[in-house]
C-alpha cells in the first residue's frame, strides 16, 4: 500500500499532444505554462495549417486536442469523426479583412487594387488554411476571384501570411482583423463592404477521438475558454465575445 502511494506521488504529470493552427501558437505556448501550474497537465504541440495538422493527427492516429484556426476545420473534423463533437469549446472570434502596411503607402482602397502591377499581395493556401479559405470567399463574393487569385502569393499558415505583411515582404494580405493587433503601429485594415464579410469565424477546439486522457483534454479546453484563458487570448488581440 505504501509502495503504491509512493509510486503514485512520483508519477509524472500527464502529457497531452495538441494539434493546432499556427496562428494560435503565441497564445497556446503562454497558456501551456499556466495550465501546467493550475492543472498539472503538460502540453506539447504540433503547429501548422489547420488542414495539415488535422491530416497529421488522422495519419498518426494519436493526439488529444485539435484546435484549428477557425471553426470550419473543426466541423470537418467532427464530420470525419476525428474529434468528439460533445467536447467542442469556442474561444474567440475573427473576421476576414484586407490588411496593408501602416499609412497605406500603396494607396490600396479595395480588393480591385490587388490586381495592380505595383502591388505585392498574398493569401494563405485556401486548401489547408482557414483564413485562406475565407479570403477566397471574399474574392468570390466580390466577383474578383478569377482576376486576383492567380496574382496572390501563397502562405502555408495563418501565421505565415501575417508575417509576410509584418516583415513588409508584401504590401497587402487577405487575413483576419486580429492581424492589426499582432503588429501594432505597423499594419492597418482597409474597410470592405459588409456584404463581402457577412460571417465571422471562431477559434474552437475539441477532444480528439484518439486521446488516452479525454477528461484531462476537456479540462484544458475549458481552461482556455475560462477567465485565465480568455485573458491570454485578449492579450494577443483576440475578441472573446462575438
Does the 2-93+202-235 domain belong in CATH 3.40.190.10? yes
**Per-residue pLDDT tens for 187-228?**
999 999 999 999 889 999 999 999 999 999 999 999 999 999
The pLDDT value given to residue 139: 97
Could you tell me what percent of the chain has a pLDDT over 70?
Answer: 95
On whether 157 is known to bind a ligand per the annotation, the reply is no
What is the rounded average pLDDT for all residues in the chain? 94
CA–CA separation, 102 and 22 (whole Å): 24
Q: Which CATH architecture has domain 96-196?
A: 3-Layer(aba) Sandwich (3.40)
Segment 25-36 mean pLDDT? 97
Segment 103-123 mean pLDDT? 97
Task: Give the relative orientation of helices 130-141 and 71-79 as an angle to the nearest 10 degrees.
Answer: 110
- The x, y and z cell numbers of residue 115, run together, are 490586381
Give this prediction's pTM: 0.88
Q: How many other C-beta atoms lie within 10 A of the C-beta of residue 5?
A: 9
The pLDDT value given to residue 93: 96
**Per-residue pLDDT tens for 87-102?**
999 999 999 999 999 9
Residue 12 has pLDDT above 90, yes or no: no
> Which among 23, 157, 179 is positioned nearest to 99, based on CA atoms?
179
Segment 65-69 mean pLDDT? 97
The pLDDT value given to residue 239: 94
> Which among 235, 114, 238, 104 is positioned nearest to 174, based on CA atoms?
114
The pLDDT value given to residue 32: 98
Domain boundaries, the chain: 2-93+202-235, 96-196
Amino acid at each position: 500500500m505504501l509502495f503504491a502511494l509512493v509510486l503514485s506521488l512520483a508519477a509524472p504529470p500527464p502529457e497531452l499532444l495538441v494539434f493546432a493552427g499556427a496562428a494560435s501558437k503565441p497564445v497556446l505556448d503562454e497558456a501551456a505554462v499556466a495550465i501546467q501550474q493550475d492543472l498539472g497537465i503538460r502540453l506539447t504541440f504540433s503547429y501548422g495549417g489547420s488542414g495539415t495538422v488535422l491530416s497529421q493527427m488522422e495519419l498518426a492516429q494519436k493526439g488529444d486536442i485539435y484546435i484549428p484556426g477557425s471553426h470550419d476545420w473543426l466541423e470537418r473534423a467532427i464530420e470525419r469523426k476525428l474529434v468528439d463533437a460533445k467536447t467542442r469549446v469556442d474561444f474567440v472570434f475573427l473576421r476576414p479583412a484586407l490588411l496593408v502596411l501602416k499609412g497605406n503607402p500603396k494607396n490600396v482602397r479595395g480588393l480591385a487594387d490587388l490586381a495592380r502591377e505595383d502591388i505585392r499581395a498574398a493569401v494563405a493556401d485556401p486548401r489547408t488554411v482557414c483564413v485562406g479559405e475565407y479570403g477566397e470567399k471574399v474574392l468570390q463574393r466580390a466577383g474578383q476571384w478569377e482576376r486576383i487569385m492567380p496574382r496572390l502569393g501563397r502562405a502555408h499558415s495563418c501565421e505565415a501570411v501575417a508575417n509576410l505583411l509584418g516583415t513588409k515582404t508584401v504590401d497587402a494580405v487577405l487575413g483576419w482583423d486580429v492581424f492589426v493587433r499582432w503588429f501594432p503601429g505597423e499594419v492597418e485594415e482597409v474597410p470592405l463592404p459588409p456584404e463581402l464579410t457577412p460571417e465571422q469565424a471562431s477559434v474552437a477546439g475539441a477532444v480528439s477521438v484518439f486521446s488516452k486522457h479525454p477528461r484531462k483534454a476537456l479540462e484544458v479546453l475549458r481552461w482556455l475558454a475560462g477567465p485565465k484563458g480568455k485573458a491570454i487570448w485578449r492579450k494577443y488581440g483576440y475578441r472573446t465575445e462575438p
